[in-house]
Amino acid sequence: MDKDIIVIGGGPGGYVAAIRAAHLGANVCLIERDKVGGTCLNRGCIPTKALWRNAEILNTLKHIKEFGIEIDGYSINVEEVQNRKQKIVDQLVSGIEQLLNANKVEVISGTASLKDKNTVVVALADGNSKELTAKNIIIATGSKTTLPPIEGANLEGILTSDEILNFKEIPKRLTIIGGGVIAMEFAGIFAAMGSAVTVVNRSSILKRVDSDIVKRFSVSAKKKGVEIITDCTMDKIEKRDGLYYLLGENKKGKFEIEAEALLAATGRDPVLEGINLEGLGIEFSKRGIRVDSNYETNIEGIYAIGDVNGKIMLAHAASHQGITVAERIMGIENSFHSPVPDCIFVFPEISSVGITEDEAKEQGITYKASKFMFGANGKALSLGEGEGFVKVLSNEQEEIIGVHIMGPHASDLIHEGTLAISTKLKIDDIKNTIHAHPTLSEAFHEAVCGLKGEAIHMVQPRK
């Protein structure tokens, strides 16, 4: 065999798996047809967060007088916004390339397909091909953007999350089809930059988020200039005189939304084409490659991690799966399964881990829930970000089973909740842990104490 492991795809699942396997002494080859870092680094998480930071600053500027600061005026230089975003991406891509090289991972630029359970054929950019063999193969081909099944969705100029990242000008009006994470993140970014944004979704928005947070966030988004239309049909998209028209109907009747730009953000599909899954008899569906609890396919020695297996389409989940598989191949068994935190970069941020209150009810779990508002947290008020709350759920054994946050730095705060759930910490474990003052983490501490009616900085409900 040429290699111990061949990894197909250099995204956050693939490159992490390759590096971890190399740490453990494996001879590894990574095949990537575009740039290492995958969608997350090049067309997803990182460039989006770079733009999110621009939007965060703009939102602060809109309320800058509250801080006693007077500014005569400001403008947005789109070219510099794009330059900054690309600089961040390039720096991180370069860093990953250096890490792969330092760990002696062979990187081949090309498109890979499976010949048999141990052989990969790589179509190189120069038209030639190369065959490699390995004891184990990890498929980490990621996911791709999709268009909604609406007449006119393939009209020229309609944007996906790939194209909108490279905007050259800020549209006066932007229509977004979809109500998930991608849709709502771009809605917040472009609303902050001055676009009149309309989000249209067939059902409710942010389905996997606790309904308490969705209700409050919907109100908050509207105050920030994002119109949200849900529970509707979308019949057709038309393009007239350079403008896009979305035609549909909801309980108020028929509607027609006009905009200079239209973003289709209705989800992503696993990249399954061209790998020759059928030829090897690897089981898959349109939702992804079927894998067992160890992320191994029905063909021994072939694994599938990240978006391509369709389990959890999050970059950090892909990385964790990559590490787990690399360690298993190299003889390290790890049966521990951590809960996966979810972070949504909207305004204010949303993060969650564990089960929602809605899920607890559906599953018949006996639980307690407690909320603590950021409006009663000194650090949040000092930041000028008192909107939102921390919500915590516990079970009959007083173990923390769910944490849901809407508010400042929610994406940073969620990890105490993740640790609490993964290690089955109880209410008293958190209660008896001193949290520094003044910090945002005190809100989590107070919410947990509230589960036993012992929070100090909120009035407890009467028994």
Provide the H-helix boundaries in 166-297.
181-192, 211-223, 277-280
How large is the angle between the packed helices 14-23 and 315-329, nearest 10 degrees? 30
Cβ atoms of residues 281 and 117 within 8 Å: no
Residues with catalytic function: 437
Task: Tell me phi and psi for residue 88, to 5 degrees.
Answer: -65, -45
| All residues at 6 or more sequence positions from 143 whose CB lies less than 8 Å from its CB, including other chains | 39, 268, 269, 270, 271, 307, 308, 313
Across 213-292, where does the E strand assignment appear?
226-229, 233-240, 243-250, 253-259, 261-264, 268-270, 284-285, 288-289
Q: Report in angstroms the alpha-carbon separations of 113 from 72, 300, 420.
A: 58, 17, 42
How large is the angle between the packed helices 410-422 and 441-450, nearest 10 degrees? 50
Cβ atoms of residues 318 and 154 within 8 Å: no
Provide the H-helix boundaries in 253-329.
277-280, 315-329
Q: What is the DSSP string of 8-63?
A: E--STTHHHHHHHHHHTT--EEEEESS-TTHHHHHHSHHHHHHHHHHHHHHHHHHT
Q: Quick one: which of 293, 320, 299, 329 has its CA closest to 28?
A: 329
Cβ atoms of residues 263 and 177 within 8 Å: yes
Which single residue is written with the structure tokens 């809407």?
406
| All residues at 6 or more sequence positions from 127 whose CB lies less than 8 Å from its CB, including other chains | none
At 201 the three-state DSSP class reads: coil
First to last CA, the chain: 69
Q: Quick one: which of 461, 441, 436, 437 has its CA closest to 451?
A: 461
Q: Would you tell me how many other CB atoms lie within 10 Å of the CB of residue 187?
A: 29
Provide the H-helix boundaries in 330-409.
357-362, 378-383
Which single residue is written with the structure tokens 């996966």?
340
Which single residue is written with the structure tokens 């036993």?
452
Q: For residues 26 and 36, what is the distance between their CA atoms, to the nearest angstrom? A: 20
How open is the CA angle 178-181-187, to the nearest 5 degrees?
65
